[in-house]
Amino acid sequence: MSFVNKRGYLFIGFATLLFLVLIGVVAYQQRATTPTAKSYCNDYACTNFRDGTNWAIRNCQGTSTEGSTYTCTQKGQSGTCGAKSYCCPGTGMLWTTDLTACAGTTSSDCCACPTPTPVQLTSQCNGPCMNSGNCTNGNVCLYDQGYGWVCRNPACYGTTNCSCSSATPTPTITPTMTLTPTPAQGQMRCGEGCNSTADCQSSLRCLYMDNVRQCRNPVCPDKTNCNC
């Protein structure tokens, strides 16, 4: 075999090897950049849910199948859920979109930091809770998919208005109960403050949202305009 023929075979072999290496690199890059489906992530509509003794929110944005969970354990912590930013007002408190509630955060490397004051959460029907002691009107703390830990009527825990009678969706007020004269009963509109569901217009419920009781649509309590 002549020297020229040997050089030709060597060139063809080298070109073939280089082609195979390029195919392998392209296949590896395609496999490495394939996004992972987030089949296990649920952000509970960006509502607070209990994580041990504290409250947490979950952000399903990104590549992790479980998303990113933020637990409120110290004032000044920040987190995101969907397109909103949240902050932790203090230990044992709910995440809030009111970032001013976290202003004035002290340094965590102090020599003798004071013990945080326990927060006793009080919730109306369908409001957030950590245990049944947080619930009013005989309701209990139950877990509902999409809402997290909320106060519900144990006799009909599947209803968000805590009323077991479909004919009378608004709970009957006993004669012994004394209501605050303001706000006017049944007149408060979406987003306005309330003491109980009786204060809100008939289609709304008094829910505990961002540490404030407001009249909201129970079907989509996170909507500030009550339009689902």
Q: Are 70 and 94 in contact (CB under 8 A)?
A: no
Residue 115's CB is within 10 A of a number of other CB atoms, namely: 6
Whether 48 is in a domain gets the answer yes
Say how many domains are in the chain.
Answer: 1
Q: Above pLDDT 70, what percent of the chain?
A: 71
Q: How far apart are the C-alpha atoms of 94 and 73, rounded to whole Å?
A: 10
Neighbour-count burial for 3-39, b at 16+ CB within 10 Å, e otherwise: eeeeeeeeeeeeeeeeeeeeeeeeeeeeeeeeeeeee
Range of the domain at 69: 40-102
DSSP state, 86? Answer: E
The arithmetic mean of pLDDT across residues 86-103, rounded, is: 90
Give the rounded distance of the alpha carbon of 136 from its chain centre.
Answer: 23
The arithmetic mean of pLDDT across residues 178-184, rounded, is: 49
Q: Is 60 exceeded by the pLDDT of residue 173?
A: no
- Token readout for 1 is 């075999």
Helix, strand or coil for residue 84? Answer: strand
pLDDT tens digit string along 99-122?
A: 988 876 554 545 556 666 655 678
Residue 102's φ and ψ, nearest 5 degrees, are -105, 10
Q: Is 90 exceeded by the pLDDT of residue 151?
A: yes
pLDDT of residue 177: 42
pLDDT of residue 157: 84
Q: How confident is the model at residue 60 (pLDDT cuts 50, 70, 90)?
A: confident
Whether 72 is in a domain gets the answer yes
Whether 88 is in a domain gets the answer yes
Q: How far apart are the C-alpha atoms of 62 and 141, rounded to whole Å?
A: 32
- Token readout for 130 is 């950590």
Nearest alpha carbon to residue 98 among 228, 224, 183: 224
pLDDT of residue 97: 92
Whether 198 is in a domain gets the answer no
**Residue 128, preceding peptide bond in cis (omega within 30° of 0):** no
More confident residue, 203 or 30: 203
Q: How far apart are the C-alpha atoms of 141 and 121, rounded to whole Å?
A: 12
The arithmetic mean of pLDDT across residues 2-29, rounded, is: 70
Whether 96 is in a domain gets the answer yes
Alpha carbon distances (Å) from 53 to 119, 134, 144, 187, 211: 12, 13, 18, 37, 17
Whether 24 is in a domain gets the answer no
User: In the predicted model, what is the mean pLDDT of the chain?
Assistant: 77
Q: Above pLDDT 90, what percent of the chain?
A: 17
Q: How confident is the model at residue 96 (pLDDT cuts 50, 70, 90)?
A: very high
Whether 202 is in a domain gets the answer no
Instruction: Return the H-helix or E-strand segment holding 19.
Output: helix 3-32
The arithmetic mean of pLDDT across residues 28-48, rounded, is: 62
Whether 52 is in a domain gets the answer yes
